[in-house]
Structure formats: C-alpha cells, structure tokens
Amino acid sequence: MPAVDDRFAYISCGTWSLVGAELDKPVLTEAGRTAVFTNEPGVDGTVRYLRNVMGLWLLQESLRTWSAAGLRRSGVPARR
C-alpha cells in the first residue's frame, strides 16, 4: 500500500492470499476476532487489518492440474 483514501481495501495473491484494509487504528471488536482478522503494524503508524485466505491457492492448483490433464476450466476436454 499505502492507501490513497479511507475507502480502500486490498487483495494480495501469492502462495496464499491476504484480504484487508489499511486503517488508522486496530479493530478490537468481537466481530473482528470471530471473523479471524488480524491487526498488523503497517507503514507510517497504520494498521493492516487483514485475513489470510487459503482457498485461492487450492483453486489455482486445481486449475493447473486440470489444464495439465487437458481439461478446460468449463470441464470440457481441450482440443489437442
């Protein structure tokens, strides 16, 4: 980041994905805790309020495996 305004969220994808927002102060509510979000130190005193999302890696690997098997995303065999 840094965020350019207060209506900003991000998704960072790699081996796993991070979904969150850059805030001025931590979110310390019960709803934030039960949603499994974390408050991490950010740049210039900000807080990165985020959640680790593992499911996108599973989708990426499934698509790679299906493609290697000659299947298109729709499940229809690809032409060779």
DSSP result, 6-21 = SS--EEEESSSEEEEE
Domain of 29 in residue numbering reads as 10-68
Is 77 domain-assigned? Answer: no
Is 79 domain-assigned? Answer: no
Is 43 domain-assigned? Answer: yes
Enumerate residue ranges in the chain where pLDDT < 50.
Answer: none
Q: State residue 31's pLDDT score.
A: 94
How many domains are contained in the chain? 1
Is 3 domain-assigned? Answer: no
Is 20 domain-assigned? Answer: yes
Which residue in 29, 20, 12, 16 sits closest to 47, CA to CA?
20
pLDDT tens for 59-74 read 888 888 988 998 876 6
Is 1 domain-assigned? Answer: no
* Residues with Cβ within 8 Å of residue 8, at least 6 apart in sequence: 1, 21, 22
Is 75 domain-assigned? Answer: no
Is 35 domain-assigned? Answer: yes
